[in-house]
Amino acid sequence: MTLKETLLDRLSSHTAKVGIVGLGYVGLPLAVEFAEAGFDVIGVEVSAAKVQQLMRSESYVGDIPSERLKPLVDNGKLCASTNYADLRQADTISICVPTPLRQTRDPDMSFVIQAVDGVAEICHEGMLLVLESTTYPGTTEEIILPRLQDKGFKPGENVFVAFSPERIDPGNPKFGVRNTPKVVGGINPESTDVTVALYSTAIDMVVPVSSPTAAEMVKLLENTFRAVNIGLVNEMALMCDKLGVDVWEVIRAASSKPFGFMPFYPGPGLGGHCIPIDPLYLSWKMKTLNYTARFIELASEINTSMPLHVIGKVNDALNDDSKAVRGAKIVVLGVAYKRDVDDVRESPALDIISLLEQRGAHITYHDPYVAQIRLEGDAVMQSSSYSDGLLEEADCVVIVTDHSSYDWQHVVDHSRLIVDTRHATAAKQGKARVVPL
């Protein structure tokens, strides 16, 4: 049999060994799905603490309960290591490592390069290598292929290579790895075929495209679509504020149109692992081709300015109470980047807290999911206990993240002044004066 036929046979019989590099919020759910599909899965993770925790069947990813891990670890279907050498027997390897932005807003590819270099050292003929990390168009061909060629491989012939963007939405109770369609693009038809075969064993629908670059562009379009539309509705909120119009009423009424409109909602800024960052990968790539991605740049400018708008709201609301921001006691409710998760990456709450502190406010925060946060200068702030007193002693309560566990009626009943950036207290009547975004 050919190398392709051998791999397809091992995948169809579920006797292939599956490797995952990076066991975070993307890699661990993927590893669990493959293990539950009957494969032997080995994950490589740079954090020894996470490896030890995983091997104790203790999950550190919110979407994967420890109870789901335990039978997989106990029967040896899922194991983890810090050593790339443990991937030598793998038939397939999916790379799921972070791709952050540098301070200069250009892509930091160091994690991907480190992962590809590690895999290239243990690669063997017939192996499938899939990059899942979100990145700029051209990454698969520019970074992975040369490193495999340097080791004497012929990508597309004796090793298979593809890109398949992760589509994880942390905290989403409806869509997970299995029921979210998977886009795949191989460097040639053979690579696409084996990648489709791999993911079809654990995912309900696989969508092949013509190339890795097309697959890379799919993910960037998805998140650029969201970033631009959130930027639009955030600007609409700014305009409605100046016009004295309730932006939420406008959105609600516009949503009654059964065609040609999709509602997006304003907020204190963008956060998370994808929407604030991924479009800037595309913008950076286009600059190298002497093209300006104007929608992306403008949306980023608007979205990153929203924390300053929130500060202005707090300042004006305190002024109306004859108080200044300097010396005011301000409580921030929710610091995660979105509802019901513990992730604070790129959270606008961090900017809001830092800006208020710079203006002399005394800040405390509460978040049921986030025990502590790290601010500028590596300062650490601990979450305060939620209580009547926490709210009643505050000159202003700023709602940044609308976790579903909060009793908003209680918040309104025990606060004096609320700046509500999430429309969480709408229609609630109580003691507090509520200032919307």
Which amino acid would we find at residue 124? H
Residue where a domain stops, chosen among 173, 188, 210: 210
Instruction: Compute, in degrees rounded to 10, the torsion defined by CA atoms 241, 245, 250, 251.
Output: 20
Q: Along the chain (437 residues), what's the average pLDDT of each consecutive run of 10 residues?
A: 96 97 96 97 96 96 94 96 96 96 85 96 97 95 96 96 95 94 98 98 98 97 96 97 96 97 96 86 93 95 96 97 97 96 94 96 97 88 96 98 97 97 93 94
Q: Are residues 206 and 285 in the same domain?
A: no
CA distance 253 to 257: 8
User: Distance of alpha carbon 178 from its chain centroid, rounded?
Assistant: 18
Alpha-helix residue ranges (DSSP H) falling in 260-293: 278-288
Note whether 164 and 96 are within 8 A (CB). Answer: no
The answer to whether position 122 is within a domain reads yes
Question: Which of the 8 DSSP states describes residue 437?
Answer: -
Are 183 and 282 part of one and the same domain? no
pTM of the model: 0.92
Domain hosting 65: range is: 3-210
Query: Of the residues 123, 240, 274, 396, which is catalytic?
Result: 274
Please give the Cα distance from 95 to 155 (Å, whole number). 16
Residue 106 has a pLDDT of 83
Judge whether 237 lies within some domain. Answer: no
Q: What are phi and psi of 208, to 5 degrees?
A: -80, 145
* Residue for token pair 């046979």: 9
**Of 164, 189, 210, which residue is a domain's last?**
210
Neighbouring residues of 100: CB distance < 8 A, sequence distance ≥ 6: 108, 111, 277
Does some domain include residue 62? yes
Same domain, 70 and 149: yes
Whether residue 75 sits in one domain with residue 193: yes
Report if residue 422 sits inside a domain: yes
The reply to whether 271 falls in a domain is no
First to last CA, the chain: 64
d(CA 283, CA 302): 16
The position carrying tokens 């609301």 is 317
Q: In this structure, what CATH number is given to the domain that contains residue 355?
A: 3.40.50.720
Single-letter amino acid, residue 51: V
Q: Where a domain ends, among 210, 226, 260?
A: 210
Please tell me whether residues 287 and 200 are part of one structural domain: no
17 lies in the same domain as 151? yes
Number of separate domains in the chain: 2
384 in any annotated domain = yes
Are residues 20 and 142 both part of a single domain?
Answer: yes
User: Which of 255, 272, 249, 302 lies closest to 423 in space, CA to CA?
Assistant: 249
Residue 185 Cα distances to 60, 76, 93, 219, 427, angstroms: 30, 31, 15, 12, 48
Compute the distance between CA of residue 115 and CA of residue 408 in angstroms, rounded to an integer.
45
Lookup: tokens for 247 = 């932006």
- How many CA atoms, within 13 angstroms, populate the side-chain half-sphere of residue 389? 2
Q: How would DSSP label each residue in 342-407?
A: ---TT-HHHHHHHHHHHTT-EEEEE-TT-SEEE-GGG-EEEPPPP-HHHHHT-SEEEE----TTS-
Amino acid at 131: L
Does residue 226 belong to any structural domain of this protein? Answer: no
Nearest to 162 by CA among 215, 99, 118, 231: 215
Instruction: Say yes or no: 157 and 305 in one domain.
Output: no
Nearest to 183 by CA among 135, 155, 216: 216
Residue 410's CB is within 10 A of a number of other CB atoms, namely: 14
Mark whether 400 and 320 lie in a shared domain. yes
Q: Is 404 exposed, middle or buried (0-12, 13-18, 19+ CB in 10 A)?
A: exposed
Do residues 158 and 283 share a domain? no
Six token digits for residue 100: 């952050």
Q: Are 343 and 336 in contact (CB under 8 A)?
A: yes
Residue 110 counted as domain residue: yes
- Does residue 396 have an active-site annotation? no
Q: Are residues 291 and 167 in the same domain?
A: no
Q: Are residues 327 and 413 in the same domain?
A: yes
